[in-house]
Amino acid sequence: MSSEEDKITRISIEPEKQSLLDHHTEKHFTAGEIVRDIILGVSDGLTVPFALAAGLSGANASSSIVLTAGIAEVAAGAISMGLGGYLAAKSEADHYAREMKREQEEIVAVPETEAAEVAEILAQYGIEPHEYSPVVNALRKNPQAWLDFMMRFELGLEKPDPRRAFQSAFTIAIAYVLGGFVPLFPYMFIPQALDAVLASVVITLIALFIFGYGKGHFTGSRPIRSAFETAFIGAIASAAAFCLAKVVQH
Amino acid sequence: MSSEEDKITRISIEPEKQSLLDHHTEKHFTAGEIVRDIILGVSDGLTVPFALAAGLSGANASSSIVLTAGIAEVAAGAISMGLGGYLAAKSEADHYAREMKREQEEIVAVPETEAAEVAEILAQYGIEPHEYSPVVNALRKNPQAWLDFMMRFELGLEKPDPRRAFQSAFTIAIAYVLGGFVPLFPYMFIPQALDAVLASVVITLIALFIFGYGKGHFTGSRPIRSAFETAFIGAIASAAAFCLAKVVQH
């Protein structure tokens, strides 16, 4: 809910009820985004370092080399996903600001066209001109509300929270590091990579199942199926890495 | 534009004009998503394999090991991002279907509540009951349109295209592979990793600048700034990988 909407007098909903709804929606929205970022980071973090380590182990590298490659990859991946996600979010915020400015200019310069666009949006739902005209006219009299309406219903853009870019980047990066740590853990204690890889496979498959189950639970899809799908991706990725590493090594 | 909307008789817009608008919107929407997927894949593909290779080179690995690790990582990354993206898109499609079913049930079981929700959505824009009542009543008489309205304006969900999940996964995976190939290329011809890494740094920085510029151009943000930001992420990621690899190797 944008702050512009907060300023608009709500006539039909009691203020206390509305503010409860707003608060509930905002909390729900942010919690959902944090969960999504954790899922994003852990998904790749559990899978790629695991596959890389397994591939190198199969190519007869030492645990030392596997750990070197693994930790380097986790750092690089966390930075790439984290910083990349941050810049992407900032870019979206800039995009929103630009679109809003343009929409604002159109409302001032060509109000008839903008009013026709509102009409078109509502007409798609089988609403007839005599039914939607009062709505169009109400919006025309309230430029701020009209702008919010166009941003939301014509362009489908939500006003981005400036703090979310940083939060999101940080969450994804940390999640990636924690995910990546799991498969690399055995290599820190078992000097023979071909021994360590067995422990790594067991630990990581269990982690993938648990994580996949949790992912399914949190996103409301079938947790058992999600657990198997997640473990499957890890298995495929490590099989591919294993085979390619052997091929490259001849 | 969903197929449900296509079926609704449009009273105020001529059919030919509407179908031109639909076609234009759909093409624009898909092209934007393909560009977004390419950006996603190439961003990480150019950065992580580059940083991994640079890190291992600095830790005195041979080009052979660097290539083994690099190619294994590219395969694992492409699979993780590609398959992961595919499953995420399927999960969103399932989510949409479930939400639509629930909304449909609510429209049948508690139409007064649903009508009040429509009222609440429009009231946020300063529209008064006597202005929005005809719209609410029009929707109540047209359950399919009402459902579409709730999906779009209450839940903010777009109907996902089932083909997009596969397209998206494929695009991201291929983009990652092509991105990853760039920094690894020198290691295929230069046996000394510490010589190959110089070529890799030069080639990859140039690629990051070009890609960052293109990214800025396509997303409508500042291309020069985007070029520097993208190269900067690559530099930071490889510096971190380089330092950590040295630390792990003692």
User: What average pLDDT does the segment B50-56 reach?
Assistant: 95
On the question of pLDDT at B185 being above 90, the answer is yes
CB-nearest partner of A123 from B13, B126, B156: B13
Residue A52 contacts residue B76 (beta carbons within 8 Å): yes
pLDDT band for position A2 (50/70/90)? very low
Residue B150 has pLDDT above 60, yes or no: yes
CB contact under 8 A, A67 and B248: yes
Contact A119, A127 (CB under 8 A): no
Rg of chain B (C-alpha set): 25
Which residues, in sequence order, are CB contacts of B24 under 8 Å at separation 6+?
none
Take residue A225 and report the two structure tokens written for it.
């199926």
- Give B206-224 pLDDT, tens digit per residue: 999 999 999 988 887 889 9
Structure tokens given for A143: 């430029």
Residue B1: in which H helix or E strand, if any?
A: none
Give the pLDDT score at A22: 52
Say if residues B73 and B54 touch (Cβ distance below 8 Å). no
For residue B207, give the nearest of B230, B187, B225 by alpha carbon: B230
B80·A48 Cβ contact <8 A = yes
The residue that leads in pLDDT, A42 or A88, is A42
| Cα of B160 to nearest chain A Cα, Å | 15
- Separation CA B143–CA B146 (nearest Å): 5
Give A244's contacts (C-beta < 8 A, 6+ positions apart). Answer: A55, B71, B72, B75
Interface of A with B in 213-242 (CB under 8 A): 219-221, 226, 229, 233, 236-238, 240-242
CA dist., res. A250 & res. A248, Å (int): 5
User: What's the CA gap between B117 and B146, in Å, rounded?
Assistant: 11
C-alpha–C-alpha distance, residues B110 and B107, integer Å: 6
Token pair recorded at residue B86: 């595919």
Average pLDDT over all residues of chain B: 85
pLDDT at B93: 85
**pLDDT exceeds 60 at position B90:** yes
Render the burial of B212-238: b for 16+ CB within 10 Å, e for the rest: bbbbbebbebebeebbbbbbebbbbbb
Query: Using CA atoms, how far apart are residues B147 and B138, in angstroms rounded to an integer?
Result: 12
| Residue B250 predicted with pLDDT over 90 | no
pLDDT confidence of residue A207: 96
Nearest residue of B to residue A238, measured between CA atoms? B76
Average confidence (pLDDT) over A28-45: 82
Residue of A nearest to B18 (CA): A120
ipTM above 0.90, yes or no: no
Q: Helices A223-249 and B63-109, interaxial angle, to 10°?
A: 160
- Of the listed ranges A12-16, A91-95, B70-74, the one predicted with least confidence: A12-16
Amino acid at A147: L
- Whole-number pLDDT of residue B6: 40
Distance from CA of B21 to the nearest CA of A (A): 11
Residue B237: its chain A contacts at CB < 8 A?
75-76, 79-80, 83
- The answer to whether residue B8 scores a pLDDT higher than 70 is no
Q: Encoding tokens for residue A106?
A: 């159109």
CA pair distance B20, A223, nearest whole angstrom: 42
- Does residue A23 surpass a pLDDT of 80? no
Q: Name the residue among A81, A201, A55 with its Cα closest to residue B48.
A: A81
How confident is the model over A141-196, as pLDDT tens digits?
A: 888 888 988 888 888 887 788 788 889 899 999 999 999 999 999 999 999 999 99
**Range in A69-73, A84-88, A183-187 the model is least confident about:** A84-88
